[in-house]
Structure 1
């Protein structure tokens, strides 16, 4: 049975309740606190006295540039229907939802409704979210071979041993193949033959073992057909601007850890780009996290991927805490500030319903 507008609104509000902040904060701070308790040694934090202010400034400039890039990108993807103010609100609520929902779902699961509440029809909202997913996947497909060529064996941490190391390598390869195939399927479905893709999905999920997901496959197929109709008329400039913005924001996102480490620990150019490259593997680990925003998993996995560039476990734990403050807890706070104002603004008018 189709959901009414009121029930959709209630589902959105339930997913974005500020009280959802509590669990990820408790998990994340709890994990970091335990790691500090287990590893702390007097004098381990001595590098803090020699912090390089220029790298701290660069770190915050990268963070600001990343958010400005996201704001610019969603405005361009929405064909400039969103104002700058609306784009800022959308990104802040989108980031907030990514922080309080499991990583596998992230903000993408509620993004169409966020855009719909901004006055964009649901069909166009779904199309715009698909564009963001497609561009994100294409960036990953292109970037991974480049970082593999650059980092070589340094891409995988030496600390990974035995079966666990093998499983991470397999997960990385499987993830890359899956993202590549998914991106190719989206290109075909959105720009070549959406109706054929819809038929394929329905037939695939007609098999007995997959039949329970057939309604979802049918719905997803209809969404692709509608999205294709919305996107086919866009000119080359639209795709160039959104693709460049996507490359900019993801590159900035992957630069943050290296900038933070460089602010406290001397690293050379080669090490900096190995850190950048390892973000690709780190991302795969976070994608399978079942906790809100990867809380606990992100903190626990960090030393394995980046600890050797930092030094002592205590200093590594400080960098973890700093990193999560500026890339995770900050957005929980901003979301809690933006959310009530956004709700008051958008729920005072009906969402767009025309396709």
Structure 2
């Protein structure tokens, strides 16, 4: 981010800011919290409202935080599963709910790819300045997302037992074998809950997908809102490029995509801005609103779960020590 600001900043650029546009940054902040609300609402809905609203926000914030501090290709799903177990759900049930959430995300990607391919015939969705390699990479990304969405749909909706077989096979490895019994039990729970989700009416899937759709639309809208808060731009093209950017973010190998996503913002959104000096300012505002605020809130949520885990462990150890004392006292008598 500092590099982008350094390369694009021009002294006196702030004098060209129009006060009437700046309220757009507050709108971006509201849209960022709307994204979080839709994501939390989806988790709560998939748990059949067994999760309270506060717990749903905690789970989502911990998910977002872990995604922000680990490579984008890893994501925060494992932390979200752990968080749900701390909210009282069985590991298998938590895994099924998170897997279903990931599946809904993949279905959204499967919808987004055709939109980008069709609109790419009429708009320059992928900028020419990324070159032939960049164009080919985007096409490979589209193909990979569609393939992964198909596999997820098959595993979660069509054949949950396939996931169980994969887990059981994985935990036959020597260094994982000691957890094999526990995992086999939880894999069975996962399969059972997956079957329960499959029995839900189509309206259940449609509402869950609607919440997913709105969450991603809020995420996609953020770069465009930030750009329009500084300068006029082609709104349709900005939104389409933002959609393409968000798909490209998924394969960034750095924690939270840091470094790569700022560069992609400059490449995709920069050409739409008349004043190049505003690119660094736009990147800065966008990352603060969409990333760093989430990191701060997510850190608090994740720490809450870690503290709870430590407290539970200490209480278990204290209870075990008391039992041993009682047994020792009984033996003396």
Q: Is the structural similarity TM-score above 0.5?
A: yes
Q: Deviations over 1:261-309 (max 9, x none)?
A: 1111012xxx212112112332343222222111111112221111011
Between 47-56 and 251-260, the greater mean CA deviation after superposition: 47-56
In structure 2, the gaps of 5 or more residues are 314-333
Instruction: Report the number of matched residues.
Output: 304
Q: Secondary structure at the match of 2:127?
A: coil
Q: 1:208 corresponds to which residue?
A: none
Displacement of 1:109: 2.9
The change in CA–CA distance for 1:197 and 1:299 in structure 2 (over 3 A counts) is closer
Displacement of 1:45: 3.2
Tell me which of 55, 61, 69 is aligned to 1:86.
55
Residue pair 1:102, 1:290 contacting (<8 A) in 2 also: yes
Q: Secondary structure at the match of 1:155?
A: coil
Residue pair 1:134, 1:186 contacting (<8 A) in 2 also: yes
Q: 2:270 corresponds to which residue?
A: 307
Rounded Cα–Cα distance in structure 2 between residues aligned with 1:83 and 1:196? 32
When the two structures are superposed, what TM-score results if normalisation uses the length of structure 1? 0.76
Rounded Cα–Cα distance in structure 2 between residues aligned with 1:348 and 1:76? 29
> Residues 333-348 of structure 1: matches in 2 within 5 Å?
333-345=296-308, 348=311
In structure 1, the gaps of 5 or more residues are 1-31, 206-210, 351-355
Q: Deviations over 1:20-63 (max 9, x none)?
A: xxxxxxxxxxxx22333333322333332445144234322211
Q: Deviations over 1:224-251 (max 9, x none)?
A: 7355334223233321221110011001
Does 1:39 find its partner at 2:8?
A: yes
The change in CA–CA distance for 1:343 and 1:201 in structure 2 (over 3 A counts) is closer
Displacement of 1:196: 5.4
Residue pair 2:106, 2:145 contacting (<8 A) in 1 also: yes
Q: 2:130 corresponds to which residue?
A: 160
> Residues 1-355 of structure 1: matches in 2 within 5 Å?
32-152=1-121, 153-161=123-131, 166-195=132-161, 222=187, 225-267=191-233, 271-345=234-308, 348-349=311-312
Rounded Cα–Cα distance in structure 1 between residues aligned with 2:164 and 2:143? 22
Rounded Cα–Cα distance in structure 2 between residues aligned with 1:326 and 1:172? 26
Q: Deviations over 1:298-322 (max 9, x none)?
A: 1122211110112333310010000
Q: Deviations over 1:196-248 (max 9, x none)?
A: 57668999x9xxxxx99x99xx9799577355334223233321221110011
Q: Which one has a bigger Cα radius of gyration?
A: 2
Residue pair 1:93, 1:335 contacting (<8 A) in 2 also: yes
Rounded Cα–Cα distance in structure 1 between residues aligned with 2:113 and 2:52? 34
Displacement of 1:339: 3.4
